[in-house]
A and B are shown apart, each in its own frame.
Chain A
Amino acid sequence: MIPVALYGIDTEQCEDFFNQFQELLDTVQHRYEKMLYMIRGKLKLEHLELIDEWSGYPQLVVHEEVAQEILSVLDIISYPDAALIESLLTIDGIDIMRLSLWLHFTTHVYPIWSEDACAGLQKLGLNAPFEEDIAAYGIYAGLIEAMKEYAPMDALPESPLPRQRLLEMALAEWSRRA
């Protein structure tokens, strides 16, 4: 059954997408995989710095209290909820992309915000706006989760990477194909 979040999906396109899924992926991602397991123990600012370094974001310069607020929000947020992080968007230097990277590497379940992956979802007939709006990221996370659920049993390859990552990468590649 099509998950509610995917109502309106172009089922033929979706079938094509899953048929080609494994070709769409570049499964060798040693640098990414290494980063995935670098966050250990209680969440600390150093963890976020590691993620920033990995993704090329400049160092975050914030007051200690603000840093504590960031850590608290990231600590209590519960997948798939995304609304809670909205309050962090008012902090200088923080955008949805950066937040999604933090969430992704600290939980392994939130997807990384990607314009190309949104375009891939749009190509499947889904409403996935790539906008600097937390609601848009919430929709994106929900759609990726629904795609995970809807994927045929043999579509996703055996891989040490989280399925959210596989879907994000495959959708991005899908959007780039004619």
Chain B
Amino acid sequence: MSELPTTFDEWVDNFGEWQQRVGFDPAWIGDFELSIKFDWERAGDVIEFGDYKGRTKWERSLQIPHQNIRDGLLSMITVQGDTEFASVEQQKHLLETAPSDYDRYAAARIMAEEQRHGWQMCYLLMTYFGQQGAREAQKLLERNAQEGSRLLGAFNRLMPHWLDFFCYTMFVDRDGKFQLGMLSTSGFKPLAASMGPMLKEESFHLGTGANGLRRIIKAGVIPLDMLQRYFNKWVSTAHDLFGTDTSTSAEWAYVWGIKGRWDERLKLENEQEVVKEYLNEESRGHYHDEIVAEVDKMNGLLPEGVTHLYVVHENFNRDIGANAGKRFTVEGEAFDGSEQEWEAYLGEFMPTAQDEEDLKELFEQEWIEFRAPTRMMIESGIGQIKA
């Protein structure tokens, strides 16, 4: 590990070295400003749930009553930051193969915003968590998705092409939206106040994914069964991101008031009872319902009579939780067949080597509805696109 930064400015210098190391040209972010943003007004003044409900939100780590709460926060902020830098490492090579300048701009802006989110998390670590925070902030720049050393499996996956990118921004970034939403009511005020600006930026990422997939469907070049397989890959990955079932860490985070449920404020207003043992399942359920609705909207673009796209059941292809490594069909039923039959089944419902080969040819065609960049996009310098 490099020498630990002692100030945020020192960390920023190390961040510049990280950009260089992973091959991200700082010029790609154009006029985008890497900065720290807070929405203090909507962060709330009073702890909203858990055992400390009603007390003043903590504004400094020394106000946090127990070391294990500080550790829990440190861990959550670290994981969030880790995903931000990881996604840049996963995606940056895609700039070279963007289907249009419009898409190159969108990907570069997403990567700029992910880096800002990483800055935000590191700012919290450096400002509020002393030497331990500095160590974690530094480690965020040292783990690497390409080497498979990022903290969450989904963020070590390769993203070889733009179909993966659009599925990723549609399904995996949406998990990010839920995680940020659940942290937005945190009892640690600087964390809660960080979430509003991050969530607003995250919506552009989801929009890029959803619109990209809509444009792919409209172009009609990628076969729908193939598209479905890529949906299945990234949806099941995203299901994993909500964590283990009956998670005690999620339960503790709720008890301590540092991470709430999705739509916590609305649920509190409606006096909706909290089932602390199933917090991850609950948020995964909300996520699942949301993507079902989004995919249904996409089906509206399909011609009549064709098989509709769908969202796989939460049991399918899981690496985390009670069903990790178990065999379930896309409908969620236990799979009864032999090893050979299972392999054949996966070949039908998950991307195959043949799909990857076929995609090379399909990408040579007009596989996605064209979009030209606007003048504002060009002028921003983001992605360094030219008129």
Residue of A nearest to B300 (CB): A28
Cβ of B323 < 8 Å from any Cβ of A? Answer: no
Main SS of chain B's interface residues?
helix
Cβ of B21 < 8 Å from any Cβ of A? Answer: no
| Contact in complex: B375, A160 (CB < 8 Å) | no
Provide the bound-state CA to CA distance between A79 and B377, in Å: 12
Which one of A79, A151, A160 contacts B211 once the chains associate, using CB atoms below 8 Å?
Answer: A160
CB-defined contacts of A159 to chain B, threshold 8 Å: 207
Main SS of chain A's interface residues?
loop
Provide the bound-state CA to CA distance between A156 and B206, in Å: 13
Cβ of B286 < 8 Å from any Cβ of A? Answer: no
**Which segment, of A34-42, A55-63, A84-92, A111-119, faces chain B?**
A34-42
Which one of A37, A43, A107, A158 contacts B376 once the chains associate, using CB atoms below 8 Å?
Answer: A107
| Contact in complex: A41, B372 (CB < 8 Å) | yes
Question: By the criterion of a CB under 8 Å from any partner CB, how many residues of chain A are at the interface?
Answer: 23
| Contact in complex: B207, A109 (CB < 8 Å) | no
| Contact in complex: B374, A107 (CB < 8 Å) | yes
Closest approach, in angstroms, between the C-beta of B196 and any C-beta of chain A? 5
| Contact in complex: B200, A153 (CB < 8 Å) | yes
| Contact in complex: B372, A158 (CB < 8 Å) | no
Cβ of B42 < 8 Å from any Cβ of A? Answer: yes
Cβ of A16 < 8 Å from any Cβ of B? Answer: no
| Contact in complex: B371, A37 (CB < 8 Å) | yes
Question: By the criterion of a CB under 8 Å from any partner CB, how many residues of chain B are at the interface?
Answer: 24
Closest approach, in angstroms, between the C-beta of A148 and any C-beta of chain B? 9
Cβ of A154 < 8 Å from any Cβ of B? Answer: yes
Which one of B199, B294, B375 contacts A154 once the chains associate, using CB atoms below 8 Å?
Answer: B199
| Contact in complex: A1, B375 (CB < 8 Å) | no
Residue of B nearest to A28 (CB): B300
| Contact in complex: A40, B372 (CB < 8 Å) | yes
CB-defined contacts of B210 to chain A, threshold 8 Å: 158, 160
Q: Which residues of B contact A (CB under 8 A)?
A: 39-42, 181, 184, 195-196, 199-200, 203, 206-207, 210-211, 214, 294, 371-372, 374-376, 379, 387
Q: Which residues of A contact B (CB under 8 A)?
A: 1-2, 37, 39-43, 75, 78-79, 106-109, 151-154, 156, 158-160
User: Can you list 9 contacts pairing A with B, beta carbon distance less than 8 Å?
Assistant: A41-B372, A78-B379, A106-B374, A108-B374, A151-B200, A153-B196, A153-B199, A158-B206, A160-B207
